[in-house]
Amino acid sequence: MKKRDQWSSNFGFLMAAAGSAVGLGNLWKFPYVVGINSGGIFILAYIILLILLGTPILMSEMSIGRNTRLNAIDACNKLKTGWGFVGGLGVLGAFTILCYYSVIGGWVLKYLFKYIVSPSIDNPSEYFKNFSESIVEPVIWHIIFAIICITIVIKGISGGIEKISKIFLPLLAIFIIVISINVLRLPNALNGLKFFLIPNLSDINSVSDIFSILLHAMGQVFFSLSLGMGTLITYGSYLGRNSNIQKNSLYIPLFDLIIALLACTAILPAVFAFDLEPTAGSGLLFNTLPYVFDHMKYGKYLAIIFFLLVFFAAVTSAISLIEVISSYFIDNKKWSRKKACTISGIGFILIGIIASLSLGTLNNITIFGHTLFDSLIILSDKIIMPIGGFFICILVGYIWKTKNMYDEMSSGGLFKIYFKKTLTFLIKFFAPAMIIIIFITSIF
């Protein structure tokens, strides 16, 4: 039997798992979702759900992975025959996300090269609109982004993923702080800070407002922590028994939250300083930061470094998504790593092309009133990931049983497990109930 890959150290795993968590979800998505969901209130809901939903599910996924040492589908099947569908949902979710994630990864590459060849971007909003709605260019950048990620995953887990994450993550954190400091010195920037740090209750006019914010916050928790789709099962399956799962499940959300808040600090105050719209939606990052770089000394070079770091963040997340899909084909269908990555890659490249075109030429083709691009986002964040998270809780709480999970987490008694009772309550009752309530109210 071929020996299964393993992370070279717990730090390597942490960096890879944090690398999967920290990505476009934090830098591109979080600020714009905060922008369209009334700022401070959303962040409050987000932090509460991060602690009560995100962390216990993160622990559950890692424990399932390390215990079974299998890909997401076979891992769930091993715990209970017939439950492979939970992992299957993950493989489907990973594929769905990749189709649009790679398109945005392509936008990042485009901005990186734009800054390499020119000193600044004139009229950023119009520039972004023209670019993202055009036919050829976004598609080419999407394909380049996809090929880079696929090539890295073909090299295997410790060879590629771990090495990149160890270097770029600390750099990214430092760099966003530098940008944030500059942004906060702009006139009117403090209003932007207030917008997302101080919850404004007058933004809530009805119960449906509350549920709408909760639904977005829940989707964002799952998306940002890479939950509900087997990423952490897969990464956990390469984890050694000398690693402390409970500690890891505190560090990852904490680091992820810090980066997301820093991204808001770099973007939202600038939105107010330059009199832009916080509700601009998915173009917010690309519409706003060019103004900031234009106002900074050495702006062009800072922009190049920034987009390079965002690119790395996107790559380390995208490769964790490809890993979910390919590890299934490698373990279960006995495909070679190369074949598994190439075939899944061709699939998401093709659908990604249509998703990219759906922002411009094909925007008249809609699904329930949404473009293909938006439909993929809704399908992954609001449907597949929460359902996956729900079943993970049921699987761990009622079938595998939390007692066995704690056994795995403690590495056979090596580590002490804290808050067992609270965790059991969260996994068996709170998290599944919360997911169902938010889910059902969103439908009505």
Q: At its nearest, how many Å lie between ligand PHE and the CB of residue 227?
A: 7
Determine, following the binding rule CB under 6 A, whether residue 20 of this chain makes contact with ligand PHE: yes
Determine, following the binding rule CB under 6 A, whether residue 234 of this chain makes contact with ligand PHE: no
Residue 147, Cα to own-chain centre: how many angstroms?
A: 20
Determine, following the binding rule CB under 6 A, whether residue 320 of this chain makes contact with ligand PHE: yes
Q: At its nearest, how many Å lie between ligand PHE and the CB of residue 367?
A: 21
Q: In the window 75-114, what residues touch ligand PHE (CB under 6 A)?
A: 97
Q: Looking at 66-74, 314-322, 347-355, 362-370, which segment touches ligand PHE (CB under 6 A)?
A: 314-322
Determine, following the binding rule CB under 6 A, whether residue 226 of this chain makes contact with ligand PHE: yes
Q: At its nearest, how many Å lie between ligand PHE and the CB of residue 229?
A: 6
| Residue number, 77 or 220, with CB nearest to ligand PHE | 220
Phi/psi of residue 429, nearest 5 degrees: -115, -60
| Residue number, 268 or 315, with CB nearest to ligand PHE | 315
- Choosing from 131, 175, 223, 373, the residue that interacts with ligand PHE (CB under 6 A) is 223
Q: What is the DSSP string of 194-250?
A: HHHHS--GGG--SHHHHHHHHHHHHHHHHHHHT-SSSHHHHHHTT--TTS-HHHHHH
Q: Identity (one letter) of the amino acid at 203?
A: D
- Choosing from 67, 317, 402, 424, the residue that interacts with ligand PHE (CB under 6 A) is 317
* Rg (the chain; Cα; Å): 21
Give the Cβ contact number of residue 304 at 10 Å. 18
In angstroms, rounded to a whole number, what is the distance separating the alpha carbons of residues 160 and 312?
Answer: 12
Beta-bridge mates of residue 367? 370
As to burial, measured by CB atoms within 10 angstroms (0-12 exposed, 13-18 middle, 19+ buried), residue 202 is: exposed
Determine, following the binding rule CB under 6 A, whether residue 224 of this chain makes contact with ligand PHE: yes
| Residue number, 36 or 417, with CB nearest to ligand PHE | 36
Determine, following the binding rule CB under 6 A, whether residue 217 of this chain makes contact with ligand PHE: no
| Residue number, 225 or 396, with CB nearest to ligand PHE | 225
Q: Looking at 33-41, 219-227, 366-374, 409-417, which segment touches ligand PHE (CB under 6 A)?
A: 219-227
Q: At its nearest, how many Å lie between ligand PHE and the CB of residue 101?
A: 7
**How much of the chain is helix, strand and coil, in % rounded to 5?**
80, 0, 20
Per DSSP, 3 falls in state P
In angstroms, rounded to a whole number, what is the distance separating the alpha carbons of residues 320 and 326?
Answer: 10
Q: At its nearest, how many Å lie between ligand PHE and the CB of residue 427?
A: 20
Q: At its nearest, how many Å lie between ligand PHE and the CB of residue 371?
A: 20
Q: Looking at 21-29, 45-53, 55-63, 411-419, which segment touches ligand PHE (CB under 6 A)?
A: 21-29
x/- site string to ligand PHE, residues 23 to 42, per CB under 6 A? xxxx----------------
Binding residues for ligand PHE, rule CB under 6 A, total 15
In angstroms, rounded to a whole number, what is the distance separating the alpha carbons of residues 281 and 341?
Answer: 32
Residue 83, Cα to own-chain centre: how many angstroms?
A: 25
Determine, following the binding rule CB under 6 A, whether residue 12 of this chain makes contact with ligand PHE: no
Q: Comparing C-alpha atoms, which of 345, 419, 61, 96 is closest to residue 225? A: 61
Q: At its nearest, how many Å lie between ligand PHE and the CB of residue 348?
A: 13
Q: At its nearest, how many Å lie between ligand PHE and the CB of residue 226?
A: 3
Q: Comparing C-alpha atoms, which of 176, 201, 168, 198 is closest to residue 270? A: 176
Determine, following the binding rule CB under 6 A, whether residue 21 of this chain makes contact with ligand PHE: yes
Q: In angstroms, how far is the first alpha carbon of the chain from the final one? A: 51
Q: At its nearest, how many Å lie between ligand PHE and the CB of residue 93?
A: 7
In angstroms, rounded to a whole number, what is the distance separating the alpha carbons of residues 408 and 60?
Answer: 10
As to burial, measured by CB atoms within 10 angstroms (0-12 exposed, 13-18 middle, 19+ buried), residue 146 is: buried
Residues at the site binding ligand PHE, with contacts judged by CB under 6 A: 20-21, 23-26, 97, 223-224, 226, 229, 231, 317, 320-321
